[in-house]
Amino acid sequence: MTRIDAKFAELASAGKKAFVTYVMAGDPDYDTSLEVVKGLPAAGVDIIELGLPFTDPMADGPTIQLAGQRALEAGQTLKKTLALAAAFRTGDDTTPIVLMGYYNPIYNHGVEAFLRDAREAGIDGLIVVDLPPEEDEELCIPAQKAGLNFIRLATPTTDDARLPKVLENTSGFVYYVSITGITGAAAPEAGDVAPEVARIKSQTDLPIIVGFGIRTPEMSEGIARIADGAVVGSAIVSEIAAGKPVAEVLDFVRSLAEGAHRA
């Protein structure tokens, strides 16, 4: 059982929905982002998605892309991102960390070495945007063998015929992308998302977490109500981009978490 599985078991027994946040590692710099990440569990975050900066984030909108650029300009690398996770782990041994990014920095590091280093750093799962099931041999299967969850994105274009393939090697949870589009773009309608969540639920026992376009405590609550949890990324990254003090960023996170936990 990974920390992710344990977290969902704990939430289920408490009758709570999961609140998941995304922040970019190293944005705007290593120390500030470590301070933000360290503060997330106390602000009500159940699972942390830690963005791995990449120069060419094809599935992300401008907010996440700029966050990656700020991080890279401040000297963030894959190694430093793993170091950041390890530094977080020294003070928190239960909050799951999911590393989210693109394949090239991982491929460049070497898959075997990466899986070993990620495990040692206390990473629990991976979301690699540009690795669909068709490329499972690259990283998904080795990651599962190494004891890491491989969390897949399901999208509105994933039809019923394709869904089993997407779910087959997924573990931890399923991340449902609520819109066709990039991160931080159009907002989803809970009414449109509910049938989609039900459709995926009919084919898996894994928790379904919904993200893309969620910006407010109300939206967080509305989405968490119809799924097993909500993810917020760009809205939080925007607060960091605006140069808000860490305490204010965490206050905003707390308001979103309370929304999701009301559901």
The distance of closest approach from Cβ of residue 140 to other proteins in the complex, given in angstroms and rounded to an integer, is: 12
Quick one: DSSP state of residue 157? T
Question: Which residue in 5, 46, 49, 239 is the catalytic one?
Answer: 49
Does 177 bind other proteins (CB under 8 A)? Our answer is yes
Pairing state of beta strands 97-101 and 18-24?
Answer: unpaired
The angle that helices 62-73 and 234-241 make with each other, rounded to 10 degrees, is 50
By beta-carbon proximity to other proteins, the closer residue of 132 and 142 is 132
Please give the structure tokens belonging to residue 193.
């998302």
By beta-carbon proximity to other proteins, the closer residue of 21 and 63 is 63
Q: Which residue has the tokens 């969540």?
A: 197
Does 106 bind other proteins (CB under 8 A)? Our answer is yes
Contact set for other proteins, span 42-71 (CB under 8 A): 53-59, 61-62, 65, 69
| Stretch in the footprint of other proteins (CB under 8 A) among 18-26, 129-137, 188-196, 226-234 | 129-137
The distance of closest approach from Cβ of residue 209 to other proteins in the complex, given in angstroms and rounded to an integer, is: 15
Does 108 bind other proteins (CB under 8 A)? Our answer is yes
3-state class (DSSP) for residue 169:
coil
Question: Which residue in 5, 27, 46, 60 is the catalytic one?
Answer: 60
Would you call 49 a catalytic residue per the annotation?
A: yes
Total residues in contact with other proteins, by rule CB under 8 A: 45
By beta-carbon proximity to other proteins, the closer residue of 95 and 155 is 155
Q: Which of 74, 185, 187, 246 binds other proteins (CB under 8 A)?
A: 185
Residue 247 to residues 27, 164, 184, 250, Cα–Cα distance (Å): 15, 43, 23, 5
Contact set for other proteins, span 74-93 (CB under 8 A): 77-79
Would you call 60 a catalytic residue per the annotation?
A: yes
Q: What angle do CA 66, 63, 237 make, to 5 degrees?
A: 100
Q: Which residue has the tokens 């639920």?
A: 201
Q: Which of 13, 90, 157, 202 binds other proteins (CB under 8 A)?
A: 157
**113-116 contacts at long range (C-beta below 8 A, 24 or more positions apart):** 114/78, 115/142, 115/143, 115/146, 115/148, 116/146
What H or E segment, with its residue span, contains residue 49?
Answer: strand 47-51
Site residues for other proteins per CB under 8 A: 53-59, 61-62, 65, 69, 72, 77-79, 102-109, 129-135, 152-159, 162, 166, 177, 180-182, 185
